[in-house]
Chain A
């Protein structure tokens, strides 16, 4: 469905030094630097797959999505989406895809979303009958109801985002790019969006690429993740595998009958947090068994659970490691 080979995207940017004097200097000579937003990325995505792009800010995730949707021309490499070269922006291609950006909107600001739906129907040349059915389905799945008749500016962010998704799906795109679709939404709204996106993918077999700052989005939606860091692909595979790779430790959460001395805990493993009657320990996966046995025999344990470390922490560790590596190299 999607194939990317050695994708590169470089920008030349002017530098704007601060200060009046430097600005005066820049009147005559403007220094510029080349920024390598994406520097040689390759991957393939099969039809119907759900893939998450992970990476710190400015890693090149959004740039890659924009190249895939034809908004940016690559500086090098080959990109093909369902047999099309995105940069040509052929109508047939544009009718197959959609890019939803959480920070930008296509809904007409001062008109009800229904008008934008109607406009998109005309622009994407969707047959009336199909349009009616799609809209019915979207309305019930997203709980739009009366919303579509209110001017967009009067909608809350969550309501607007739901309508935004509906507007993006009127033409039933086969490939859906989602750039931070849940940004700014509250937790329950995020969960609802995730459910909807997953259901859309399962029912229509649409291919889906998602970037998000919320790890929960990625964990819930994407069996496969691609980690992009400083424009380079640093991991491509299953999410669990990535977690095991970065953090081969498990967390053991204890609840005690009475207070336990810290020293006793420290002997068992690395103490992540502790308060009067509970504690979290970090233990190597292969040592989990022995640690639990020892704890049960030496400490007043009421109950215990073994967990994976939180995804957010895994990511921040991954990215800080790569930063440290880059600093060491430079």
Chain B
């Protein structure tokens, strides 16, 4: 265990070195995060121009969902995306073999191989949204709410990561699909609105198939102090199941890769 912790630290250090080299990224990432925050906020402004409530979400409450979206997006783009994007590249070039030769868990190695540390700026944007939203509501989240949403954040990260692993696993079977990453990003984009706003099939898909609800809506509800305990429990169980599934699929994909490549 401590060996993996040490490995993680080594990989983080390498990423820090890279981040320092590409210093202009700090500003560019800042600007991008500003724009993305705007893409998340502007639709809200438009919708709430002529109404106070949208499916019993007020504007400030919907903004809490947006806040979680920006937060998770930072985790996705800073911590999850870069490493796994590198895998897709490695599969294409055939250099993944070097990773598989190393005496450590392959999933761990590829997942931690690269981080985009400047994406931290997105976390600041998320914090600003939270502060603004709760200021508008004129209250503070309860301690229980914060705890529950922190738990859900862990669950959401696990689900996000697992979804990613599942997407990347596809790259083992259909080589030369480096834009898989964009596919995933565009689906995740739908998580910036409360899942309950969607109707019919779309809502079902976003709740159970691609559990976007779990990632942003539930944590927001928890922070607002209106998440039912059962939802919390199911979310945690669901996240655990998802992680296990992703792990299983990854192992299968690696097996497929090693047997198929020459």
The answer to whether B16 touches A20, judged by C-beta atoms less than 8 angstroms apart, is yes
For B20, the closest partner residue in chain A by CB is A23
What is the CA–CA distance of A27 and B17 in the complex, to the nearest angstrom? 11
Closest 5 CB pairs of A and B: A23-B20, A23-B17, A27-B23, A20-B17, A24-B20
Residues of A1-52 at the interface with B, using a CB-CB cut-off of 8 Å, are 16, 20, 23-24, 26-27
For A27, the closest partner residue in chain B by CB is B23
On chain B, the number of residues with a Cβ less than 8 Å from chain A's Cβ atoms is 6
Report the minimum CB–CB distance from B21 to chain A (whole Å): 6
What is the CA–CA distance of A294 and B23 in the complex, to the nearest angstrom? 74
Residues from chain B with Cβ under 8 Å of A23 in the complex: 17, 20-21
Interface bin, chain A: under 10
Residues of chain A whose beta carbon lies under 8 Å from any beta carbon of chain B: 16, 20, 23-24, 26-27
B13 in contact (CB, < 8 A): yes
For B26, the closest partner residue in chain A by CB is A27
Residues from chain A with Cβ under 8 Å of B20 in the complex: 20, 23-24, 26-27
What is the CA–CA distance of A16 and B20 in the complex, to the nearest angstrom? 11
Report the minimum CB–CB distance from B179 to chain A (whole Å): 15
What is the CA–CA distance of A16 and B17 in the complex, to the nearest angstrom? 11
Beyond the given A20-B17, A23-B20, A26-B20, please list 10 additional residue pairs across the A-B interface where CB-CB is below 8 A.
Answer: A16-B21, A20-B13, A20-B16, A20-B20, A23-B17, A23-B21, A24-B20, A26-B21, A27-B20, A27-B23
Residues from chain B with Cβ under 8 Å of A27 in the complex: 20, 23
* Proximity bits, B16-31, A CB within 8 Å = 1, else 0: 1100110100000000
Residues from chain B with Cβ under 8 Å of A16 in the complex: 21
Residues of B26-52 at the interface with A, using a CB-CB cut-off of 8 Å, are none
Report the minimum CB–CB distance from B116 to chain A (whole Å): 16
For A24, the closest partner residue in chain B by CB is B20
Residues from chain B with Cβ under 8 Å of A24 in the complex: 20
For A20, the closest partner residue in chain B by CB is B17
For A19, the closest partner residue in chain B by CB is B17
Residues from chain A with Cβ under 8 Å of B21 in the complex: 16, 23, 26
What is the CA–CA distance of A24 and B21 in the complex, to the nearest angstrom? 8
Residues from chain B with Cβ under 8 Å of A26 in the complex: 20-21
What is the CA–CA distance of A20 and B21 in the complex, to the nearest angstrom? 10
Residues from chain A with Cβ under 8 Å of B17 in the complex: 20, 23
What is the CA–CA distance of A26 and B19 in the complex, to the nearest angstrom? 12
Report the minimum CB–CB distance from A160 to chain B (whole Å): 15
Report the minimum CB–CB distance from A18 to chain B (whole Å): 9
What is the CA–CA distance of A190 and B162 in the complex, to the nearest angstrom? 49
What is the CA–CA distance of A24 and B20 in the complex, to the nearest angstrom? 6
For A23, the closest partner residue in chain B by CB is B20
Report the minimum CB–CB distance from B49 to chain A (whole Å): 45
* Proximity bits, B204-234, A CB within 8 Å = 1, else 0: 0000000000000000000000000000000
Residues from chain A with Cβ under 8 Å of B23 in the complex: 27
Report the minimum CB–CB distance from B11 to chain A (whole Å): 14
Report the minimum CB–CB distance from A217 to chain B (whole Å): 28
* Proximity bits, B126-159, A CB within 8 Å = 1, else 0: 0000000000000000000000000000000000
What is the CA–CA distance of A34 and B13 in the complex, to the nearest angstrom? 30
Residues from chain B with Cβ under 8 Å of A20 in the complex: 13, 16-17, 20
Report the minimum CB–CB distance from B153 to chain A (whole Å): 29
Residues of B236-255 at the interface with A, using a CB-CB cut-off of 8 Å, are none
